[in-house]
Structure 1
Amino acid sequence: MLTLLLILLPIAAGVLTLLSGERLAKQVALVSGLAVLGVAVATWLQFDPAAGTQFSFKYAWLASGGISFAAGIDGISLVLVLLTTFLTPLIILSAFNHDYRKPASFYSLILFMEAALIGVFTATDAFLFYLFFEAALIPVYFLAAIWGGENRLKVTFKFFIYTIFGSLLMLVGLVYLYYQTPGTHTSEITAFYQLQLPQQTQGFIFWAFFIAFAIKMPLFPFHTWQPDTYTESPTPATMLLSGIMLKMGVYGLIRFLLPIVPGGMEIWGTMAMVLSVIGIIYGSIIAIQQSDMKRLIAYSSFAHVGLMAAGVFSYSINGLQGALIQMLAHGINVIGLFFIIDIIYARTKTRYLDQLGGITQSTPHLSVYFMILLLGSVALPLTNGFVGEFLLLSSVFQYDGWLGAIAGLTIILGSVYMLRLFQKSMFGPRSKWVEGFQDLTMSERAVLLPLVIMVFWIGIYPNTFLKLTEPAVSQLLQMVNN
């Protein structure tokens, strides 16, 4: 019942936040987010990595069609549930210094999105997965469309069209797979794993799933919605998009693409790998050219997710383990970096690097937190980014030496755009825009401190999380190979 509680509690909390009124909304939302985190930690403490899927429930939804409201948690699900429940209260707290209009609606949408994300990561029925996959789009759409920047309606419409198109392709693939199940049809994901489809058919299903998940991440060339959406959205929505929502695409590759259509992977896997590696280099080069800090981090996120996808397409335990640990690391780092950019913008009213400089002269605490999160993002050893990036690059090298060498350029390019970001904004002569710049407040430190702790925890003790996922990853790869 813990899985059901993890899904229902944020929904109930969102309704309570909506009814709590404008004055109490943020406090109710924060307490609710912490309560969901408490349930996730309790689930973690009771979880046995070797026991497969646990805390399952199954209720008839469309009984005559074999469709159920069914969910459970294995090691792959658990790390993403922990990431979602850890980041959500920090995202809520990060918004406390802003006076968003209609705060009850604003914070309730964040909690509703948390419920949908947990549903995606725990669903064991394919159509329930699709339901939550689509439901996660709705709150972030309204967050961006109502509280976003000047071009928010145009940008969010483009985002909506992109994601709906991809989701419809996935729905076509799911419906086809449903009708291939023997006897009384079922939509259980594990039943799809047992299907023996012709290789050509698997090739078509591969593209139906790949495009849907590639848009969500996004991967090259399905990425054009991302930079504008990240830039125009309010910072909490950008955090949700970059820190958690893009992980749904990587999770979909692992949970659906690899085990259901291995024949399609044989045909098209190399092309998908090449697109992923192109995205790494393309995103990094564009990031180097950016002067808007928020847009720079958006392109860096695009590059990072390309490396995660390349690890998945390497079809190896190092690649899958690297993708999972990198999802944790990237979520933590990108949330922290977007929050620091929001702090700088709130004090200076600009995000442009050529208008900043000298911030570090009066902000020792901000400088330290910024540098730690930045070093985690560029994969300095003993930080969270190093573990995943090492596993991912080694898996791509094992898949193809040339592709591995090209993907390895991310180490150099990532250092260039990240260190340029820090140098231009924090060092040099003090700009007129940063006169009177104040260091971090207590609430801002309360957001950044847990993130920095996790940077070092994952970097120094990665087995805390790798041991959670290893049995599930090994089982999945064994099933695919068989």
Structure 2
Amino acid sequence: MHDPTLLILVLIPLVGSLGVFALPESSPGTAKLAKQVSLGVSLIVAVYAVVVLFRFDTGRGADRFQYMFSVNWIKAFGAHIAFGADGIALVLVTMAVLLVPAVILASWNSFDSRSGAEEEDPAVERQSRVRARSRGATRAVAPRRKRSVRNYFGLILLLEFFMVGVFTATDVFLFYVFFEAMLIPMYFIIGSFGGPRRQYAAMKFFLYSLAGGLLMLASVIGLYITSPTKTFSITTLIAHPLPNDTTQKWLFLGFFIAFAIKAPLIPFHTWLPDAGAEAPAGGAALLVGVLDKVGTFGFLRYCLPLFPDASRYFAVPILVLSVIGILYAAFLAIGQRDMKRLVAYTSVAHFGFIGLGIFAFTTQGGTGAVLYMVNHGFSTGALFIVVGLLIARGKSRNVDDYGGAAKVTPILAGLFLLTGLSALALPGMSTFVSEFLVLVGTFTRYKGFAIVATTGIILAAIYVLYLYQRTFQGPTAERVSKFRDLNAREIFSVAPLIAIIIFLGVYPKPVIDVINPAVRATLHNVHKTDPAPKLGESGSKTGANGK
């Protein structure tokens, strides 16, 4: 119970963040030093997490959580500083910490100028102000100003600290603290370093998340009061589920709505397009690639094992919402002219697939959902980074302002195409494996939902290829003709993510082996088993008579 492995992993980015914030703001070399320290710390965390992943023992059977650490925190109501990781948590932690160095490299020069590399040109910003005033949001568009490079990279490391903590916490109260605290650095990343309507987007993100957090707090308190164990330990609570069916349902809804807002699932999704569009590309990559996974992770870690009866009771309505989200968000993505809003809507559709896999209650569906979380993090993170690199050159998020960029920037066009193909789950890419597992796992229990959800694959091909065609194909637009192609730093910020996407698309077995035991344990907690294969009438007779 006192293995410090995960405690060290949690504390390294916190110490690095405090070190970056401690740098003198007025010193001329602070910006460069902040970047170097942040990159160095993030690389240390990434290497450490990979080592921890390789040390994880997939053959320990009943020992679901490993690297356990626990010390008393608030004795009055049994809260602990407790960390531990099963296969689900560990692969998500590894995905998160591998994405952070890529974000830091991609954001290296983004805030060295007054407006920032991703800021739109004055004409587009004026249009944003007009649109905001027409909606009554007179203060929604913030003026351009100098951004603190030190603060941005310090916030990235602080966010990494909370991300690792929220996935590895094994005390429900500690999880809640990390769950709420994640809002703080992301709020400032969006509100201080985002686009013209950053303050509106940051406030909307904060209020939605805070509302979900308050529901969770009420449910956490209710869980403690009604639980016979009077503890927040996740392992103890799973072993002693609540006997009262009605209580389970109400507490389940509190947790579920909080996680559905964070994910987000339809109809709790409306904050994401604004936050994803206005956040800087690096912040958007972490917001959609990692933070939103806390919601779907919460379904698996807390909703299913703590409230098994309620999970089964609400499964079908949640599957309906998931399928609606896949189709609705895909249609909205097709009609978008803002590139970052388009990518944000595609993520809402992807989270529909993840919800489908989780609440299908099959091993294939659950494993595919967790693998989808990991692959979506790399895929959408890389796509947001590449979109940000394109916006940094064109100073506009409007798709119509581009065209023919492939002739001027062939490397950028190639990386954009690869990340786009990953987003539409092309065979050979990691997302295809996870999407296939989700659909197969769902089909074995809910054939109708799986068939309808499959149409989302066609819609994904439409919005991704249409986006690529409008930006990189056709006649070269005037503003595009002066673009420069990617430099070595920009290539290296994306290339490792694409390498991971291709590797997991060809050979996903190592990650699936880590995920599978935890998924099987979760299904056991919900008292669900995989549907038995059905034989045809002739096959049944053959099996009965042939000995």
Q: Which residue of 1 aligns with 2:71?
A: 59
Secondary structure in 2 matching 1:282 = helix
**Which residue does the alignment assign to 1:87?**
99
| Cα pair 1:19 1:104 within 8 Å, conserved | no
CA distance in 2, matches of 1:312, 1:164: 25
Structure 1 SS opposite 2:403 = coil
Q: Partner letter of residue 16 of structure 1?
A: G
**Secondary structure of 2:314's aligned partner:** helix
Partner of 1:229: 275
- The residue identity in structure 1 corresponding to 2:389 is I
Cα separation, 2, equivalents of 1:124 and 1:202: 20
- 1:49 lines up with 2:58 in the alignment: yes
Shift of 1:28: 0.5
Shift of 1:17: 1.3
Give the number of the structure whose alpha-carbon radius of gyration is greater: 2
Give yes or no for the alignment of 1:189 onto 2:227.
no
- The aligned length equals 481
- CA change 1:77–1:420 in 2 (3 A) is same
In 2: Cα distance, 1:442 partner to 1:225 partner: 35
Q: Distance in 2 between matches of 1:463 and 1:190?
A: 27
Q: Which residue of 1 aligns with 2:286?
A: 240
Contact 2:241–2:307 (CA under 8 A) maintained in structure 1: no
Could you report, residue by residue, the CA deviation over 1:1-22 in whole angstroms, capped at 9, with x for unpaired residues? 1100111110000011112333
Q: Is the 8 A contact 2:311 2:526 kept in 1?
A: no
TM-score when normalising by structure 1: 0.97
- The structural deviation recorded for 1:316 is 1.1
Establish whether residue 217 from structure 1 lines up as the match of residue 263 from structure 2: yes
What is the SS of the residue equivalent to 2:69?
Answer: strand
Cα contact 1:47–1:54 (8 A) shared by 2: yes
Gaps of 5+ in 2: 24-29, 113-146, 529-547
Alignment match, 1:72: 84
Per the normalisation by structure 2, the TM-score is 0.86
Q: Distance in 2 between matches of 1:229 and 1:64?
A: 39
Equivalents in 1 of 2:294, 2:381: separation in Å? 16
- Is this contact kept in 2: 1:119–1:132, CA < 8 A? yes
- Deviation of the 1:181 alpha carbon: 2.8
Deviates more, 1:258-267 or 1:385-394: 258-267
Q: Which has the higher helix share?
A: 1
Task: Indicate which of 285, 296, 313 corresponds to 1:250.
Answer: 296
**C-alpha displacement of 1:380:** 1.2
Q: Deviations over 1:272-329 (max 9, x none)?
A: 1101110110000000001111111010011001110111111111111111111111
C-alpha separation between the residues in 2 aligned to 1:31 and 1:232?
28
Distance in 1, matches of 2:416 and 2:190, equals: 26
- Aligned pairs for 1:13-24 (under 5 A) are 13-20=16-23, 21-24=30-33
State the alpha-carbon separation in 2 of the partners of residues 353 and 111 from structure 1: 32
Deviation, structure 1 residue 271: 0.6
Q: How many angstroms does 1:80 deviate by?
A: 0.6
Residue type at the aligned position of 1:257: C
Percent identical among aligned pairs is 39
SS of equivalent to 2:252: helix
Partner of 1:272 in structure 2? 318
Equivalence for 1:380: 426
Q: Does the CA-based 8 Å contact 2:106-2:282 persist in structure 1?
A: yes
Decide whether the 8 Å contact of 1:144 with 1:234 is kept in 2: yes
* Post-superposition CA distance 1:80-109 (Å, at most 9, x none): 110011001111111012125211111111
Aligned to 2:439: 393
Does 1:9 pair with 2:12? yes
Which of 396-405 and 255-264 deviates more?
396-405
Which stretch shows the higher mean deviation, 246-255 or 323-332? 323-332
1:459 aligns with 2:505: yes
Contact 2:39 2:105 in 1 (8 A): yes
- Match for residue 155 of structure 1? 201
* CA distance in 2 between partners of 1:196 and 1:347 (Å): 56
Q: Which amino acid aligns with 1:192?
A: L
Q: Establish whether residue 300 from structure 1 lines up as the match of residue 309 from structure 2.
A: no
Partner in structure 1 of residue 157 of structure 2? 111
Cα deviation code 1:381-424 (max 9, x no counterpart): 11111000001111222232221111111110000000001111
Q: Which deviates more, 395-404 or 337-346? A: 395-404
In the alignment, structure 1 residue 99 sits paired with structure 2 residue 108: no
Q: CA RMSD in A?
A: 1.3
Q: Does 1:38 align with 2:47?
A: yes
Offset of 1:266 from its aligned partner? 2.6
Amino acid at match of 1:276: S
Q: Is the 8 A contact 1:217 1:248 kept in 2?
A: yes
Q: Which moved more, 1:94-103 or 1:161-170?
A: 94-103
Gaps of 5+ in 1: none
